[in-house]
Structure 1
Amino acid sequence: MRLTPGPAQDIDLDSVDLFDLDLYTAGDPHTVWDVMRAKAPLHHQVLPDGREFWSVTRYEDVCRVLGDHREFTSERGTVPTHLGTDDAAAGKLLTSTDPPRHTQVRRAIGAKLTARAVAPWEDRIRRTVVRFLEPAFDGGVFDLAERALLLPAMVTGPLLGIPERDWEELVQLTAMVTAPSDPHFKQGGEAATLAIAHHELITYVNEWVTRRRASGGDDDSLLDHLMTLRAGDAPLTDEEIALDGYSILLGANVTTPHTVSGTIQALIERPGQFAAAQADPALIPNLVEEGLRWTSAACNFMRYAVGDTEIGGGTIPARAAVVAWIGSANRDELQFPDPHTFDITRGGAKRHVAFGFGPHFCIGGPLARMTLRIFFEEVLQRFSAVELAGEPEHLRSYFIAGMTHLPVVARTRRTS
């Protein structure tokens, strides 16, 4: 998806197709969202197959949809690839469960992922990031976007208790879930790709749990922790463990790679910003926040209206699907002045909703922030510049905004 939009256009909102994959692969959705925020903050679309959904694009409306489970439930599905089919895992899968059950499970898992809990991992993550960057040290062409797909697995694999031999397979499977129409990941049609990936990921977690129980292991990994959790008065069932393990794998793998590549692309296009961060490392945490806002890798989430609900100057009917466009909210000019300017000194960048909002705010946010901070610290310390070495190739997905290829050359920084 193009992150720096072109000039304003006269958009016919009656003909806009927000599920048109070409819009995200080769088009310019930000120009569409700009018009929607101004003219149709609540937008209704009917797909050719009869499925329909409403869209909200303003920051405040996106926060309301994601933040109030009493008005907008997660228990029928939360990603637009499932539009039209209620989630069979509702009430069991963490992401498809509302409070209070969601809160009980999330609190128990989240205790392992707070900023304080992940802080001891900093040195290990730094070594992992240096290992990740090693192929760029010789000054050759380095496909950052392709390689970045593996970075979260390199970081979180040990935390989750997943052996290195399985990382590439799991990265492929999670990409199939979030971009089932992309030619790099699809196997047959979209529905077949989703079915294969769901089955393989849940089977993987089930078999992992079975082996762990048989061996009597008590490692302090996140998946081991999941096996000991209680929600209310009862332990999680094996089905819940498998589903929540599946959810954790997805959350760990699918967004950070695209934040990395999209932010690096922004810095390549704006060498002054690269130089400013290099001259003042204190800017790096804000660079991370601006990168998260700018890329908005998870560019939407879906909910269902519980009852007839007034929002955005209109009414969403009861039980209707509503898509909250995070990529648009993070460019809302009422929240972020000059929103289409990438500015690492931006005040208030941290107000972005790239990690979501409300009860389902990304549980791995602290770990992702630390990983991104370390990544840019190492890049800025080791390289004097990063240059584009070929054309970027964008992910074919209306759910995840990212790239499959970003060829770059990194110039090693000379030290005196």
Structure 2
Amino acid sequence: MHGTIDAVQDANQEAARKHAYSIPLAEMNPGDPELFRSDSFWPYFDRLRKEEPVHYCRDSVFGPYWSVTKYNDIMDIETNHAVFSSAASLGGITIRDAPTDLRRESFIAMDQPRHSAQRKTVAPMFTPTHLDQLAISIRQRSAECLDNLPVNDVFDFVDQVSIELTTQMLAVLFDFPWEDRRKLTRWSDVATTLPGPDGVVATEDDRQVELLDCASYFARLWKDRINQPPKSDLLSMMAHADATRDMDPKNFLGNLILLIVGGNDTTRNTMSGSIYALSQHPGQYRKLRENPALIDSFVPEVIRWQTPLAHMRRTALEDFEFRGKQIRKGDKVVMWYVSGNRDEAVIDRPYEFIIDRARPRTHLSFGFGIHRCVGIRLAELQLKIIWEEILKRFDNIEVVGEPKRVYSSFVKGYETLPVRIAG
């Protein structure tokens, strides 16, 4: 099976490489979601890093935008808050602008000083002491999930492991009704999808209807929390903090969606990606089985290799020259983490999956600077524990077919991943 999958992949990558190097640079649109669904975007970014690392796309379904593709250039944009804004009012943090009347603020789509004030309200969830407490229940849920997997039958790893465990984790973080926890997965998918006939929702209006359902559901929970003494769940933390207790409805929903997507899409797709990465690199899988202590470096390496969010976006607040390119006020600037994480100038052998890499945390998957993901340590903890439990139980989880990938140039993820555990 591996030979067939690899041959198909090699043929697809070769065709993508020929196309990427044959079209004029001026016509290149690396943000085309179809490139991500077909996993054929890699050579486009390889070429841009070599030939035009700061690139302007004049025409795309998302409008014109700049691409920043090299690791250190991305860091420079990420830390220049005076020139490059995250504000929702200017379009926010993704290549796709939300319709103007539907833009919702969240602390990741805010500039200083409001950003830090709101971010600090949820930061206590991710302290080392609290993570130690969460680790106990994460291990219990991981063990139960793995013990219920079928043996010798093909099943979807995305649905039965990745979605189930991350949704359970989200339900714990929000103290969300357990029986309704899959609503969180649905709302995460609805928030990030590109509307269309093949999408999670058909139209933007459909998306808004479901997200308003999300807001209504959480508003009921919020009312309960604000009338109770403070507790250690995210909703209670926000309800009792000065910076967030009086959020307007758009800011309220914006922060909810941020926390749902941040806690769901990233970890779930890295969890699926870890199985896929090891299937592509059986020598590394063998090395991990023989030395489970390598989980500590394996986890950040798979986060780099997967890069679960392909990009973040900023908007220029003024005219600015960057690496010889003239960026204009109002221009959309896309920082391609997925490209920076394959930058040969910074990362040794970046296309190789090396679980005992010397500096595995050299990656951009969580962002950099003030907007760096607040839940980094929790994401790493979940991945560490699930793999400790997998290695206790199974010699091999075999990928038996190509994954179905998400149609998105923002969420770099998997809809399905067929696997089998040999008895």
Given the two structures, how large is their TM-score scaled by the length of structure 2? 0.89
- In 2, are the aligned partners of 1:56 and 1:312 still within 8 Å (CA)? no
CA offset digits 1:287-334 (Å, max 9, x no partner):
111100000010101110111222233121112111110100111111
Moved more, 138-147 or 378-387: 138-147
Closer/same/farther in 2, CA of residues 253 and 247 from structure 1, 3 Å limit:
same
2:352 is the counterpart of 1:341:
yes
Task: Pick the aligned partner of 1:272 from 257, 279, 283.
Answer: 283
Task: Pick the aligned partner of 2:49 from 28, 37, 40.
Answer: 37
Counterpart of 1:310 in structure 2 is: 321
- Tell me, in whole angstroms, the C-alpha distance in 1 between the residues paired with 2:247 and 2:332: 29
CA offset digits 1:34-89 (Å, max 9, x no partner):
00111111111123568211110100111122222112111121112226748733
SS in 1 for 2:354: coil
2:183 is the counterpart of 1:169:
yes
RMSD over aligned Cα atoms: 2.4
| Seq. identity, % | 27
Task: Pick the aligned partner of 1:202 from 191, 206, 215.
Answer: 215
- In 2, are the aligned partners of 1:3 and 1:295 still within 8 Å (CA)? no
Amino acid at match of 2:329: A
Moved more, 14-23 or 402-411: 14-23
Moved more, 14-23 or 366-375: 14-23
Closer/same/farther in 2, CA of residues 47 and 303 from structure 1, 3 Å limit:
same
Closer/same/farther in 2, CA of residues 74 and 182 from structure 1, 3 Å limit:
same
Closer/same/farther in 2, CA of residues 341 and 264 from structure 1, 3 Å limit:
same
- In 2, are the aligned partners of 1:56 and 1:62 still within 8 Å (CA)? yes
Number of residue-to-residue matches in the alignment: 405
- Tell me, in whole angstroms, the C-alpha distance in 2 between the residues paired with 1:196 and 1:301: 26
- Tell me, in whole angstroms, the C-alpha distance in 2 between the residues paired with 1:265 and 1:363: 26
For residues 263-412 of structure 1, the aligned pairs below 5 Å read: 263-411=274-422
CA offset digits 1:355-384 (Å, max 9, x no partner):
111111111111111001111111122110
Structure with the bigger percentage of helix = 2
Given the two structures, how large is their TM-score scaled by the length of structure 1? 0.90
- In 2, are the aligned partners of 1:387 and 1:410 still within 8 Å (CA)? yes
Amino acid at match of 1:80: I
2:97 is the counterpart of 1:82:
yes
Amino acid at match of 1:266: A
2:252 is the counterpart of 1:237:
no
- Tell me, in whole angstroms, the C-alpha distance in 2 between the residues paired with 1:28 and 1:63: 25
Counterpart of 2:74 in structure 1 is: 62
2:235 is the counterpart of 1:223:
yes
- In 2, are the aligned partners of 1:395 and 1:404 still within 8 Å (CA)? yes
Counterpart of 1:124 in structure 2 is: 137
SS in 2 for 1:252: helix
- In 1, are the aligned partners of 2:125 and 2:233 still within 8 Å (CA)? no
2:148 is the counterpart of 1:156:
no
Offset at 1:187? 2.3
Counterpart of 1:6 in structure 2 is: 13
Q: Unaligned regions of 5+ residues in structure 1, if any?
A: none
Q: Unaligned regions of 5+ residues in structure 2, if any?
A: 1-7
CA offset digits 1:174-208 (Å, max 9, x no partner):
1121123476752223x234423432322222222
Amino acid at match of 1:389: V
- Tell me, in whole angstroms, the C-alpha distance in 2 between the residues paired with 1:162 and 1:387: 34
Closer/same/farther in 2, CA of residues 155 and 3 from structure 1, 3 Å limit:
farther
Amino acid at match of 2:215: I
- Tell me, in whole angstroms, the C-alpha distance in 1 between the residues paired with 2:197 and 2:409: 14
- Tell me, in whole angstroms, the C-alpha distance in 1 between the residues paired with 2:340 and 2:214: 31
Offset at 1:165? 1.7
